[in-house]
Amino acid sequence: MAMEKLGIDKPRSQIAVAVSGGGDSLALALLLQAWAVTCGGEILALTVDHGLRADSTAEALQVQKLLRARGIRHEILTWQGVKPHTHIQERARAARYALLQAACHAHGFAVLALAHNSEDQMETFWMRLAHGSGLDGLCAMPPLRQTDGLTLIRPVLSFSRAQLRATCRHFNIEWAE
């Protein structure tokens, strides 16, 4: 139903999904896999290894092992080069989206699913309000957005984190915090 609302309900659709290993993105990958089986679609899970923590590569490999055991095609994208010393989160986010976009284009996937949920929506509103955003800046994250030849979708925006973690538990999947 969430996919239909986004207009992504065509048979044999191809969707890439960003998977960090957290409960939200793992639940989204599992739900998209079930959707793909139902409509004959194809998914590709993408995990970005920023290389900012000592254990990041091992964590990405663990996500890969877990998803592949479920029959989900997966690729690790590694952020190469010198890492920033300031504005780390902002620059890591920009690098993550650049890597995800490049992988989508390289594999011929025009849709990228992101696991933003209802709590993310609220946090975004309050952060923007605290930073003095005007009315346009206070708008919610859109469930669908076009950017640089890629359609970003957020199919679980109406889900809570608790619901997404319950989905992982239903599939017997452990997530990273």
pLDDT tens per residue across span 139-165: 556 777 898 889 999 999 888 889 989
Predicted TM-score (pTM) of this structure: 0.84
Query: What are the tens digits of pLDDT across the range 13-45?
Result: 899 999 999 889 999 999 999 989 888 889 999
- Cα of 161 vs its chain's centroid, Å: 14
Question: Residue 88: in which H helix or E strand, if any?
Answer: helix 88-107
> CA angle, corner 78, sides to 176 and 113, nearest 5?
60
CB atoms closer than 10 angstroms to residue 112: 21
Confidence of residue 175 (pLDDT cuts 50, 70, 90): confident
- Cα of 62 vs its chain's centroid, Å: 17
